[in-house]
Amino acid sequence: MTVPVAPPGSADLDWQRRRALAAERTARILAWAFGTVVAVGVCWALSDIVLVVFAAALLGCLLRGGAEALARRVGGPVGLWLALIVLALLAFLGFEIFVRGPVIAGQLTDIWGQLRGQASELWQRYGQAEWVKPVLGRAKDYFQDGTHNIAGMAAGFGTSTLGGLGTLLVMVVTAIFFAIDPELYVSGTAKLMPKDWRAHTRDTMGAMAHVLRWWFIGQFLDMVAVGVLTGIGLFFIGVKLAFTLALIAALFNFVPYIGALAGAVPAVLIALGQGPQTAIYTAILFLVVQTLEGNLIAPLIQKRTVELAPVLTILSQTVLGSLFGPLGLILATPVTAAGVELVKKVWVEEVLDDEA
């Protein structure tokens, strides 16, 4: 029986091959780590611009995804459907601003007036108790003194409103350009990468766009469910301005967990003006709606869309909200969804070579 003998130097060749592969993998990890540090530094320095661009990209993904879905199911060019979607969106916004806007603004003014009255009434009832004087005193001064620094408040509100409208306009226009020709920006980004990374870059950007679209669809359905359930409940309880309060709860629910709590506050305070029993019923209603949302509605939606770990979502809201303010808080969840997909495609699949 002849025992095969390894050719001379084969062990050295295997060792050199393993060493070369290890060196290549180390270089790849260092390159990605360096690129990540640079990207984080740029995003930090240009945080406001980056968040606006991300919001525009999110809106652009939704517009393009909707147009492509309609083109597949109904037929016709994607560009035509995109134009129709944009026109319909602009018409809806115009209707809400110029027709519904004054009505909603009047209802919000009523809510503010009732909150001021609530502060005064609570002060009369409980203001003499030592343990509530500091809190109710500040609330009474804030809500009741409607003329306090009114000029400064008006100037600040006007400046912030103009700035917000300008930012919104830039975001919408940028989103439309993204939606018209996404391939231009995807290919441009891919060309910034080394040749052997370009295909994976395109695949990664496509996967992130897919995740953002499905995340928004799921979140929108969740908001609609919360708004409808809250509106029906407030109507039967008899709370004033039920529609507006339900709309506020639905919009605040765009920010998971934190938004749900913030959206309940105006309704409970308004209900308190109609009596403690109404306020208790309202608080119970929000508790029931959020319990249903968290344990039934959201899981059913997330099975078909995108699911994020609750701890990861809350941490991202805390960090981005603390660093970048309201816009960071609003965009924290979609940023996290896109970031998770980016880590999966780049770090797990590309660097670690793990397809699982």
Residue ranges covered by each domain of the chain: 198-356
- Which of 53, 77, 64 lies closest to 179 in space, CA to CA? 64
Q: Which residue has the tokens 């899981």?
A: 299
Name the residue with tokens 């780049």: 346
Tens of each residue's pLDDT in the chain, 356 residues = 454 554 555 555 566 677 776 777 677 677 767 767 777 777 677 677 888 888 898 899 989 988 998 998 988 888 899 999 999 988 887 877 777 667 767 766 777 776 666 666 666 666 555 655 565 556 555 555 554 444 444 444 444 445 566 777 888 889 999 999 888 888 888 888 778 788 888 888 888 888 888 888 888 888 999 999 999 999 999 888 788 889 889 988 888 778 888 888 888 888 877 778 888 999 999 999 988 888 888 888 877 777 777 788 888 888 888 888 888 888 888 888 888 888 888 777 766 665 55
How far is residue 298's CA from residue 290's CA, in Å, rounded to a whole number? 10
Residues 286 and 231: beta-carbon distance below 8 Å: no
The overall pTM is greater than 0.85: no
DSSP 2: P
The residue written with tokens 């912030």 in the block is: 160
Cα separation of 249 and 287, whole Å? 12
Contact (Cβ atoms closer than 8 angstroms) between residue 216 and residue 58:
yes
